[in-house]
Amino acid sequence: MSELNTVAVKILENGKGILAADESTSTMTKRLNDVGVESNPKNRLLFREILFSSSSMTKCIGGVILYDETIRQETSKKNKIPELISKMGSTPGIKVDTGAKVLAGSPKEKITEGLDGLRDRLKEYYRLGAKFTKWRGVYIIDENFPSKLSIHSNAHALARYSSLVQECNMVPIVEPEVLMDGEHSAEDCYKKTSEVIQKCFDELILHKVDLTGIILKPNMILAGKNSKKKISNEEVAKLTLKCLKDSVPPEVPGIAFLSGGQSEFEATENLNLINKFNDTNFIMTYSYGRALQQSALKFWSKNIQNIEGTQKVFNHRAKMNTLAAQGKWSKDLEI
């Protein structure tokens, strides 16, 4: 197997998952302000260093996605952040897109930017210690959305990005996120997500991306946040598996879901059921941002010097998700 496949599998195997700590400065500022903490480089680093030095980094977290600011920061012990992550037994990664902007021709939709100059930025990130990368394409659902234009242009960008990342010896996370916002049914989410993922793979193949050396990061199949027709967690798991089985080529080693606005509990429960029913060869795990950090952030905000307490909250969430990634989680393990 290729070197990139080895890296991808190491990040995801044995129930390990990914901590998405790559919130941009503006998103992180919103998260910190929501819990009453001032957003400045020192506080952003303090919270993240607490997570990156917790014991679950060794046992549960196979990879961490960083933001540009963080990959350049030093810990309180004067180590570079990627060094700390590697020392803990995990793998450092980096978000490399520069955000979703209004899509010309369909202004309600977005296209992710960041391709210009990407090769040079990737070389720098590799030198700074990154072994994998992330790029997120984002799609809205409505009667008329996502449009063919959005599906095509985002798939094209994801493929050009992936090809450049592999050229620079890193594993690309391919993240096409069909948003939960809206009134759509789970059936609509299933249809649109399938179309989006299939188009991504058409483009990845056209751009000669080695599919054994990528990680797919999709949304689960859920009814819209404001849908009147909710479905059970079992149905979420079954529809998600059906969608991925029909749309993802078998060479892909692993799938790491985003949480996308689900509660921590819901994201764990759904992942657990997906793994209980998983009859594919794909590793199915987590690459959560909010669903791994929410409780820890809330706890930390009450006393930002309480490192141990915050780590305890984070370790619990990471452990629950690692059990779910093996289909071994149950409600009574929650505290």
Q: Cβ closer to ligand 13P: 27 or 281? A: 27
Residue 56: which of 310, 253, 318 has the closest Cα?
318
95, 110, 192, 217: which one is catalytic?
217
Residue whose structure tokens are 């798991």 = 237
Distance in Å, CB of 234 to ligand 13P, minimum: 22
User: In DSSP terms, which residues pair with 173 in a beta bridge?
Assistant: 134, 215
Distance in Å, CB of 22 to ligand 13P, minimum: 6
How many residues appear in the chain?
335
Residue 214: which of 236, 231, 197 has the closest Cα?
197
Report the residue number whose CB is nearest to ligand 13P.
289
Q: Cβ closer to ligand 13P: 199 or 290? A: 290
Residues that bind ligand 13P (CB under 6 A): 20, 136, 175, 258-260, 288-291
Q: Cβ closer to ligand 13P: 204 or 220? A: 220
Residue 92's CB: how many other CB atoms inside 10 A? Answer: 24
CA–CA dist 115, 72 (Å, integer): 21
Q: Cβ closer to ligand 13P: 79 or 233? A: 233
Helical H runs in the chain?
Answer: 3-12, 25-34, 41-52, 56-59, 68-71, 81-87, 118-127, 148-167, 186-206, 233-247, 264-277, 290-302, 307-324
Distance in Å, CB of 258 to ligand 13P, minimum: 4
Distance in Å, CB of 116 to ligand 13P, minimum: 21
- Is 217 an annotated catalytic residue? yes
Catalytic residues: 217
